[in-house]
Amino acid sequence: MVKPLQHKLWRDVRRHRAQFIAITLTMFLGVTIFGATYDSFQNLTASYETTATEYRFASLTVAGGDVEAFAQAAAIEPGVESAELRTSTDIPFRVDGTKLLGRAIGLPADDQPAVNQVEVLTGTYLDPAFPDGVLVEQHMADHFSLRPGSTMDVFDGTVWRTTTVVGTIASPEYIWTARDRQNIITTPDNFGVIFAAEQTVRELAATGPNEVVSYYAAGIENEELTASLSATARSLGATNVYTRAEQASNAALEEDLAGFEEMAIFFPIMFLLAAGMAAYVMISRLVHAQRPHIGVLLANGFTRRQVLRHYLGYGFIPGLIGSIPGAIAGVLLARLITRMYTELLAIPVTIVQFYPATLLGAVAFGLMASLLAALAPALVASRVLPAAAMRGESPSGGGRRSMLERMLPPVRKLPAAWKMALRGVWRNPRRTVYTVIGVVLSLMLVLVSWGMIDSIRHLMDRQFVQIQQEDATVYFTEPAAAADVADLVKVDGVARAEPSLTLPTSLEANGNHYDTALLVLADGSQLHRLDSIDDGWIDLPSAGVVLGKATRDLLAIEIGDPITLAVGGTAFVEPVAAFVDEPLGTMAYMARSRAESLSGVELPATSALIAYDEGVDPAELRNTITELPQVAAFEDANAIYDVMQRYMVLFYAFVGIMLTFGGAMAFALIFNAMSVNIAERTREVATLLAVGTDRRAISRYITAENIMVAAIGIPIGLIVGHYSAATALASFSSDLFSFDLFIEPTTYLWATLAILAVALISQIPGLRAIRRISIPQIVKERSA
């Protein structure tokens, strides 16, 4: 680029510095978000993969059936590096008087297992000479302040046995302490995990090994091997078969990773699209305003290629200035996010690396967006005909009535000031369309972030308030009769108690399998409500099984289709009575009367759902109930809600950052549209001043016109924002979580008011410039 054009470029940048700063800011934010989210995604992926490899996280886990026969078959299968038998049992724990449901997992007493090894954080590994020693998983250990030498009780089905903590550990199976895929959210007061010598766990479970954990060669996934081993396991009566990806804890973490990956693409694209649009609007208007100058340049020997490069520079400068620091900020922010995340979840291995490709890609991403935005107006500038450009353009139109005046005749009787503002909206369609697009993009950015926060809050309220009406779940020391459940209502403070029976089950239909839990509830249960996807709130049907809506696609089934349920060693076929919409987990439900009819016996209860009287002290009531001899563990539903709120802090923080960035982007976008809107009307304003119009009146005309344009864009923006938010949330849904968009009506109202406020505030610099307009100077420039 020749020197005069360089001087012109930088002079224009200085003259329109507010607009260039706004575009640079939007580029910076978009590139920062890309670098931060994508590097965080890569760091977390590397951390999980390294943890899985270092601790030989099982590639495939099989539970139930003839596990010994399966272990023998798996051990000789090419591609299986290790296949180990172990015992896992869910039994009650008691720690300092607190009863909770726990899981005991068997390990070799003399050395680490070949599959699913653990990291000893404090104390020592198990000792064969000390069979009552246990290793406590770190989340439970931290919550109850358990250290080497501490004691805790475990229930073996008959008596409470005292065990001694020999160490605390981290396990790849319980980075996120999920009980199973249907109970992803737990609290340390409700669920904990210990590891003990295999023989000790067999004694606690009163059974032999019931699981096989297999590790593939080098820990690499092998779909053909998985399909073969799964078929073998099913043929041997396995009730639960899952890969590493499907394992409850890992699946929850993978959902988070998927969220990071989605955000690493979705949000930056939105931000850079908005930034590109802002750059396009500004450069297009600049080219339009400088047509006479372009004509002079071309007439005086500058080539069209030089003009093209010159106007591409208007995109290159904010792109470069915004992208380089944005990429650096993104890399640094990713390190902070990664460390916060791994510390929150206590991931055994934290990998924080520098990824040059992300840094370079982020810069290229930003530059590409800005250059593409500048390309169209730059091409227009390079194709200008010199003679026509230097003659200038005659104003188009003849002062026609506005569209609103033509559609609504009474509007024609409005005062002249109002009609002037209305006609200004339609007099320059190009200017109106650009501003509307800015408003639409701004609302889209705000609603996607705000909509996520509203939706998560609604999800938790729906699960823990509307669906789960119980205040707590009580687990019995042994299968209980109806009388034991009735005894709970005799406790002061308990308003209602309903029997519940939870059975691991495998669903099969059309050659597809899904492992879940069958929850047998009291007929007409009032403490667990079911929301049918077709009929709203329903009672459990007298026949058939009710399934979570995710099974509809997973098993390719519809209402009325037969489905096979394998429970223990028994399989039976039931029709699908309904699909229910639940935010957390995908369960199967059956009425107690139907389950007893199929089994031919009166079924016991493994637990009871209870509701409190109003005003009762939950902590005191928990202590009273857990002192009952038939009660083995107590699960506080409100505590689960609270812990979910705590774990959502990181999500809220991240989305809050997105909302803040979105707000800044919205301001920059609308500011750019509004300020250029005012700047390109300098001659028009000067003419009005010359005929005696008051500057304040002119400011009011322009403000009214801009607010009208914003009002046109707001309903479009609300619709686009709604569907953009729905698309973003839909990408997170699975059988673990069901994310349906819910936006509070007040959110639409506040977003609308925010956009109007931004539109008003962003006009201030332009309106101040009107006060400084010099009529002689404008006349001189016009005659030049």
> Cβ–Cβ contacts within 10 Å for residue 612, how many?
17
Query: Which pLDDT does position 48 carry in this prediction?
Result: 86
Residue 784: pLDDT above 60? no
> Cβ–Cβ contacts within 10 Å for residue 372, how many?
15
- 587 or 411, which is more confident? 587
Are 178 and 252 contacting, i.e. CB atoms less than 8 angstroms apart?
yes
| pLDDT tens-digit readout, 352-384 | 888 888 888 888 888 888 888 888 888 888 887
- Two tokens, residue 480: 């209980």
- C-alpha dihedral sign at 124, 126, 128, 130: positive
- 11 or 424, which is more confident? 11
Cα distances from 287 to residues 5, 307, 383, 706, 765, in angstroms, run 14, 11, 11, 22, 22
| pLDDT tens-digit readout, 754-779 | 888 877 877 776 667 666 666 666 55
Query: Which pLDDT does position 427 carry in this prediction?
Result: 65
Q: Would you list the DSSP string of 213-250?
A: EEEEGGG---HHHHHHHHHHHHHTT-SEEEETTTSHHH
- 220 or 408, which is more confident? 220
Are 506 and 65 contacting, i.e. CB atoms less than 8 angstroms apart?
no
Angle between helices 248-289 and 291-299 (to 10 degrees): 70
Cα angle value 467/472/473 (rounded, 5°): 95
What is the CB-side half-sphere exposure of residue 638 using CA atoms within 13 A?
A: 8
Specify the residue for token string 């002119």. Answer: 698
- 658 or 99, which is more confident? 99
Cα 249 off chain centre by: 17
437: nearest Cα among 666, 697, 245: 666
This model's pTM is above 0.75: no
Are 120 and 171 contacting, i.e. CB atoms less than 8 angstroms apart?
no
Are 12 and 250 contacting, i.e. CB atoms less than 8 angstroms apart?
no
Query: Which pLDDT does position 1 carry in this prediction?
Result: 44
Considering the chain, tell me which residue range(s) the CATH 3.30.70 domain(s) occupy: 60-86+208-243
Mean pLDDT of 735-747: 81
H runs (alpha helix) in 290-355: 291-299, 304-345
The residues near 426 (Cβ < 8 Å, ≥ 6 apart) are 402, 403, 432
For residue 568, give the DSSP letter. Answer: T
For residue 584, give the DSSP letter. Answer: B
What is the CB-side half-sphere exposure of residue 485 using CA atoms within 13 A?
A: 22
For residue 173, give the DSSP letter. Answer: G
Query: Which pLDDT does position 674 carry in this prediction?
Result: 65
Query: Which pLDDT does position 711 carry in this prediction?
Result: 84
| pLDDT tens-digit readout, 395-404 | 444 555 656 6
Separation between Cα atoms, residue 515 and residue 780, nearest integer Å = 81
Mean pLDDT of 469-485: 84
| Percent of the chain whose predicted confidence (pLDDT) is above 90 | 26
Are 69 and 234 contacting, i.e. CB atoms less than 8 angstroms apart?
no
Mean pLDDT of 404-433: 63
Highest mean pLDDT among 57-61, 94-98, 456-460: 57-61
Are 43 and 214 contacting, i.e. CB atoms less than 8 angstroms apart?
no
| pLDDT tens-digit readout, 557-572 | 999 999 999 887 788 8
Query: Which pLDDT does position 428 carry in this prediction?
Result: 66
- Two tokens, residue 262: 């989605």
Count of helix runs (H) and strand runs (E) in the chain? 24, 22
Specify the 3-state DSSP secondary structure of 576.
Answer: strand
User: Hey, which bits of 562-709 come out as E strands?
Assistant: 562-567, 570-580, 588-591, 605-612, 631-636
Specify the 3-state DSSP secondary structure of 211.
Answer: strand
Mean pLDDT of the chain: 83
Cα angle value 528/89/204 (rounded, 5°): 125
- 369 or 782, which is more confident? 369
> Cβ–Cβ contacts within 10 Å for residue 667, how many?
21
| pLDDT tens-digit readout, 479-538 | 888 777 888 888 889 999 999 998 888 899 988 888 888 999 998 899 999 999 887 899
Residue 663: pLDDT above 80? no
Mean pLDDT of 466-473: 88
| pLDDT tens-digit readout, 604-627 | 888 899 999 988 888 888 888 888
CA dihedral defined by 757, 760, 764, 766, rounded to 10 degrees? 140
| pLDDT tens-digit readout, 150-207 | 999 999 888 899 999 999 999 999 988 888 887 877 878 888 999 999 999 999 988 8
| pLDDT tens-digit readout, 306-365 | 888 888 888 888 889 988 999 999 889 888 888 887 877 777 888 888 888 888 888 888
Are 687 and 777 contacting, i.e. CB atoms less than 8 angstroms apart?
no
Query: Which pLDDT does position 602 carry in this prediction?
Result: 86
Separation between Cα atoms, residue 101 and residue 207, nearest integer Å = 19
CATH fold group of domain 60-86+208-243: Alpha-Beta Plaits (3.30.70)
Separation between Cα atoms, residue 581 and residue 738, nearest integer Å = 8
Separation between Cα atoms, residue 612 and residue 625, nearest integer Å = 12
701: nearest Cα among 338, 459, 425: 425
For residue 395, give the DSSP letter. Answer: P
Q: How confident is the model at residue 304 (pLDDT cuts 50, 70, 90)?
A: confident
Q: Would you list the DSSP string of 18-85?
A: HHHHHHHHHHHHHHHHHHHHHHHHHHHHHHHHHHHHHTT--SEEEESS-HHHHHHHHHTSTTEEEEEE
Separation between Cα atoms, residue 164 and residue 177, nearest integer Å = 22
Query: Which pLDDT does position 394 carry in this prediction?
Result: 47
Cα angle value 432/436/442 (rounded, 5°): 150
